Structure 1
């Protein structure tokens, strides 16, 4: 598995997924370490001379409460070209003194490590660690480069902190990152193994946890997954189109030049490519919406995922901490870059668009079970009269669509007032990211059910796509899905079909 270089500049959602799911190793780019060290030296000097939120003051409503500046950080020694040593090497000397038990920063971490609910899947937590490490490499936090080294080591050893589901509201994943810091300190055990504690200056506490890395990590996973599933959906639509003798007139280029939305044109062009040269009979002068309106409904979902990718391209590579350290100007700037309204709104948009196109998928499934549409037996059954065939898949798909409908509810309509009224707005993008990951699972089931029906219908009709990408996609699916047509449990068919979706996205 190729390593992912984290430089604070070019991290993508696909790379986050590669590290989180496939356990690709990470390497911090030397430039990121140099930026982090410059900010660390700047904020340490400024904190010793004056007020810096979270370092010489309390946080939230305690922002006006002065606290002693208790840094135990010595100068950080970087390796060649600004790098720290590899993840399995010891921290270079000199290292900070042991953290004082009563230091303000340590109390802050302990008090904020208060998440609740079930523990998150390690994949989501690895996504969070990847994002936070890349953010720190952007160089605005002021934390010691030792912490970048520690996060890289944890990722490369397969360790995750015990992060609970509840605690973030879109203005900072404070509980999740606080417990991460306590794992780095050695106070809380890692999940999956052990590693030596990392030197942690208590003055870096707020700077480390001032981030929405958890929400961004889950959003990145959802974005990469949805981009893949939306590509697979167009291929499945083309297979269902053949099974139902659709009318390709609705996909003609002149139609979509008449209303040239980007996603709509992309979908129509892809369908034209897939269906080129296929034995399409055009059984009707005008198809139902689930065929005729695919570009107009699936297109907005493509546009929404592009917009989410654009938002994540900024968020994943930004310095979002408060305060922001500006080494060039030798100052710290108190700000609200931690607020994730852009992210929450983009996630709400993709889930809403996803529900619309998923509804068309369920409708196509229903059409393929209808003899008047396919000329085949009811429910694509094969056996004695009254056989059920794929009848139950219609229920399964609607059940998944119902869950997707709930997950599509906009979280950005909520807000919160916390910390004695000082923090009086919240976008709830943490919930938007979690709902988006859940929506991925719902949509995967919907597509899997449609794929099972499309492959069976084509088999029963004796229709094989002509040479080209659609023929290759059909062969890929047909070779891996059971060919039996008798009434039997279909749960494994749906599971097998779901596993084929990433491969179908590549045709």
Structure 2
């Protein structure tokens, strides 16, 4: 349930300045939106150019069919129903309904793209999207039906809901007329795929930040060496992500020049190579953010209505190869980071590395301690490995051979969403192991963020030494991972 009472400042939508953080604020925190007057005027001008051009020349989707029907000229006698026919034929999605936050984010992204004034839709559709967001009126949208060349099914369902032909999932608005040229102009976008991608990016970025804190706890439990995080080491190979990761470890652990030496000459890879493995995931998240920021502000509709040149351009901006490849890259890098988390968990149950009992057990001989956590972590790692498979190795040839490439960015977005839960579970298992080891050892932590993190975990994770079910602790640790992103 959105808490709108906490937000008095609205987000201005002008088609140029939407950020990924803005999408999160609206989709999950109920920040209201306000359409900029200038953007609305520009959208109105684009509508006029598109309408007038359709009377002078063939315009794809307005005076013609779509796909392989691109040369089929719309009969003037039935042109007034062309838009609705197109929407009805394309509203063929399937699968489960999209979550509310994805739908809100999709409405916002599409509104902002339309405010960029390249679609030629009637301005009343922009007003309708603005009102839907303000009233939290949400269409029911099926999850499946796109392959990275436009969210045709989901956006057609949204448009038909606005037109009053489909039921609302939550609240409702008065029907909005659909002009003949509005249909393709409205659905020619990847707004819903972008929306899911932004939400997944946000969640993974927070988990990647939380991983610094959890790894710091493991570092203390394992008696790690500060040399792996030294400024001199990382200045010699200054990749941005690894520099940041090493700096975060120094900050969280308070590793100054007088930091005590570790227990070993060289630590296991889970500690020693953490910046080198985690850094690429941080960089991949930054790359994805740059791609998303461009695309949520893009007038990428085909055809593009160029209001400055008063021209119409047919093109291939519907392709989302940048997005698909960025999502694939993030999941691949994330899998490497998760592997190290699982490796650190294995280190934590090894007496030779902790000086504690096998599996951190505290009961009679043969007690299992946290043995089962390795199974849970590797189950989640297996799911993450499956989600990390690149979607960009596939393609599709459809519409009678005319459309002979697809990025499958929609599938990449779904896989990235799946990766969020899997990575969270892996980190939660490591967190439980690190906290248990620190409790059993009784080690005192320096006055640094790592100590604050341990105190927060100690409040939420029960200290039960004898063997007991760990399911509840895993759930509590998963919740903590999100909070640790702010340490």
State the TM bucket, normalised to the shorter chain: over 0.9
Give, in whole Å, the separation in 2 of the partners of 1:481 and 1:370. Answer: 22
State yes or no: 1:347 paired with 2:327: yes
Matched with 2:244 is 266
Runs of 5+ unmatched residues, structure 2: 1-5
Alignment map for 1:444-459 (pairs within 5 Å): 444-459=424-439
The structural deviation recorded for 1:35 is 2.1
Matched with 1:39 is 46
Runs of 5+ unmatched residues, structure 1: 73-99
Give, in whole Å, the separation in 2 of the partners of 1:172 and 1:479. Answer: 47
Q: Rate the CA distance shift 1:70–1:236 in 2: closer, same or farther, 3 A.
A: farther
Q: 2:138–2:172: 8 Å Cα contact kept in structure 1?
A: no
Matched with 2:422 is 442
Between 372-381 and 323-332, the greater mean CA deviation after superposition: 372-381
Residue 16 of structure 1 is aligned with which of 23, 26, 50?
23
Q: Rate the CA distance shift 1:325–1:277 in 2: closer, same or farther, 3 A.
A: closer
Q: 2:254–2:446: 8 Å Cα contact kept in structure 1?
A: no
Residue 369 of structure 1 is aligned with which of 340, 344, 349?
349
- Measured against aligned partners, the alpha-carbon deviations of 1:151-202 in whole angstroms (never above 9, x if no partner) come to 1222222232222222100000100000100000000001012221123213
Matched with 2:11 is 4
Residue 33 of structure 2 is aligned with which of 23, 26, 32?
26
Alignment map for 1:212-227 (pairs within 5 Å): 212-227=190-205
Give, in whole Å, the separation in 1 of the partners of 2:163 and 2:411. Answer: 28
SS at match of 2:462: coil
The structural deviation recorded for 1:330 is 1.0
Matched with 2:308 is 328
Q: 1:71–1:202: 8 Å Cα contact kept in structure 2?
A: no
- Measured against aligned partners, the alpha-carbon deviations of 1:405-455 in whole angstroms (never above 9, x if no partner) come to 000000011000010011111010110011011111111111111111111
TM norm structure 1: 0.91
Give, in whole Å, the separation in 2 of the partners of 1:37 and 1:59. Answer: 24
Residue 185 of structure 1 is aligned with which of 138, 160, 163?
163
* Number of equivalences: 478
Give, in whole Å, the separation in 1 of the partners of 2:134 and 2:471. Answer: 36
The structural deviation recorded for 1:224 is 1.0
Matched with 2:90 is 112
Superposed CA RMSD in Å reads 1.6
SS at match of 1:416: coil
Matched with 1:433 is 413
Q: 2:27–2:105: 8 Å Cα contact kept in structure 1?
A: yes
- Measured against aligned partners, the alpha-carbon deviations of 1:267-308 in whole angstroms (never above 9, x if no partner) come to 111111222259755111001111100010000001101111
Matched with 1:462 is 442
Q: Rate the CA distance shift 1:70–1:405 in 2: closer, same or farther, 3 A.
A: farther
Give, in whole Å, the separation in 2 of the partners of 1:234 and 1:59. Answer: 50
State yes or no: 1:252 paired with 2:236: no
State yes or no: 1:134 paired with 2:112: yes
